[in-house]
């Protein structure tokens, strides 16, 4: 299995490639279906932002927990 930093880099590279393709596509109102779900450019961007914010929240929580355990010792 790939190490998490490698996987993270691959997924970010793929995401940015897809965003670049969407940016240069003149049809920003296009909706495609994937796995039975309709996806627009707006929906993709909202989901991406929501996902990133969720990760930031988790990283903050982990960081605070780590600091609390270090200062408790």
Interatomic CA distance for residues 73 and 12, integer angstroms: 37
Contacts of 38 (CB under 8 A, 6+ apart): 31, 32
Backbone φ and ψ of 36, nearest 5°: 80, 10
Q: Give tens-digit pLDDT for 11-69.
A: 889 888 888 887 777 887 788 888 899 888 888 889 989 998 998 999 999 999 999 99
Rounded mean pLDDT, 2-12: 85
Q: Which pLDDT belongs to residue 64?
A: 93
Q: What is this structure's pTM?
A: 0.62
Is residue 39 within 8 A of residue 33, CB to CB? The reply is yes
Can you tell me whether residue 32 is helix, strand or coil? strand
Q: Which pLDDT belongs to residue 31?
A: 84
Q: Which pLDDT belongs to residue 73?
A: 63
């Amino acid at each position: 299995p790939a190490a998490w930093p490698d996987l993270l880099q691959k997924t970010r590279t793929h995401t940015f490639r897809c965003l670049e393709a969407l940016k240069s596509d003149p049809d920003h109102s296009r909706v495609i279906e994937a796995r039975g779900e309709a996806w627009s450019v707006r929906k993709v961007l909202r989901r991406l932002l929501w996902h990133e914010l969720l990760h930031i929240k988790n990283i903050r929580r982990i960081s605070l927990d780590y600091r609390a355990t270090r200062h408790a010792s």
